[in-house]
Structure 1
């Protein structure tokens, strides 16, 4: 079980004569700030990427030999200033590159006109949008909500929505295989 502070107060310390000098400990920490502690005996020093190809185990007791691997590992390609992949410029186009009638840019063809909506679809959209707008105006302007206003608003919305859903086209006319991919 965990030990509580009240249990520690009743016990006597193990070392009666040795007192911990906190000020001396802080002075030692501050004096050694920035110094790298020595590696423990038998530990391996940090190897750079170039030295990873060497398979010998080096310790701190031995002086490392200066061996260059056959080819550096990792590393990156460095370029001289002004000579890099981002400094590449495309050659200027010549007159032979373009056709006489081609100006070098794409002009899309005119899109086909939208299909003309029939009268039934127009009234259905008017009912779908007009019913809620009529009810909103009645609330904002403080009109009395009579039965005919409510019937026109809600009934118009539901009737127009049902009309639009019933008139939706089905894709049953396309009996072609849908898995053919893009058709150009």
Structure 2
């Protein structure tokens, strides 16, 4: 028998047994003991903290097996506890780099040319040939100026293995 005919026979058996029921039904299988949940939930033991700003113990917490009462420790309100939990305030971003006059003019040309064409088209202004040419040339010139001025050199302090450079 060839390898191809063996594979064909296996596929025929799979297709023939597609609608057959399983030999052992999953309802007959016993429930694993590791999945059983205990009847009474476990309580965790909390030790008081001496750090400032730590909310410490609350009502219902266990300390060495003894349940705390409200008169033993004043609990914080739930709103105060939830407000500070998981709050992250990122540091302020670094300032934007200062642009020289040529870069500013390139950005103005890049966006100014198409902006003029868009406003002129929406307002149904009659565009002279020189104005149309100037707007398109400003766009292309601004793009080329920004690409040419874009530095593709690696930083001097990057070392021999600096990974990806963006």
Q: Which residue number in structure 1 is paired with residue 41 of structure 2?
A: 83
| 1:137 to partner: Cα distance | 1.1
Tell whether 2:49 aligns with 1:94: yes
Does the 8 A contact of 1:123 with 1:160 survive in 2? Answer: yes
Q: Which structure would you say has the larger Rg?
A: 1
Return closer, same or farther for 1:159/1:110 CA change in 2, 3 Å cut-off.
Answer: same
**SS at structure 1 position matched to 2:154:** helix
| 1:110 to partner: Cα distance | 3.9
Alignment gaps of 5+ in structure 2: 1-22, 55-84
Deviations 1:156-184 (A, max 9, x none): 0000000000000113345521349xxxx
Give the whole-Å Cα distance in 2 for the aligned partners of 1:136 and 1:154. 12
Give the whole-Å Cα distance in 2 for the aligned partners of 1:171 and 1:93. 56
Return closer, same or farther for 1:124/1:82 CA change in 2, 3 Å cut-off.
Answer: farther
Structure 1 length-normalised TM? 0.46
Does the 8 A contact of 1:135 with 1:149 survive in 2? Answer: no
Q: Which residue number in structure 2 is paired with residue 164 of structure 1?
A: 146
Give the whole-Å Cα distance in 1 for the aligned partners of 2:132 and 2:47. 71
Q: Which residue number in structure 2 is paired with residue 178 of structure 1?
A: 162
Tell whether 2:29 aligns with 1:49: yes
Count of aligned positions: 109
2:136 alignment partner, one of 154, 161, 181: 154
| 1:108 to partner: Cα distance | 4.8
Return closer, same or farther for 1:98/1:152 CA change in 2, 3 Å cut-off.
Answer: same
Q: Which residue number in structure 1 is paired with residue 111 of structure 2?
A: 129
Does the 8 A contact of 1:132 with 1:154 survive in 2? Answer: yes
C-alpha RMSD of the superposition: 3.8
Alignment gaps of 5+ in structure 1: 1-43, 51-71
| 1:145 to partner: Cα distance | 2.2
Give the whole-Å Cα distance in 2 for the aligned partners of 1:95 and 1:155. 70
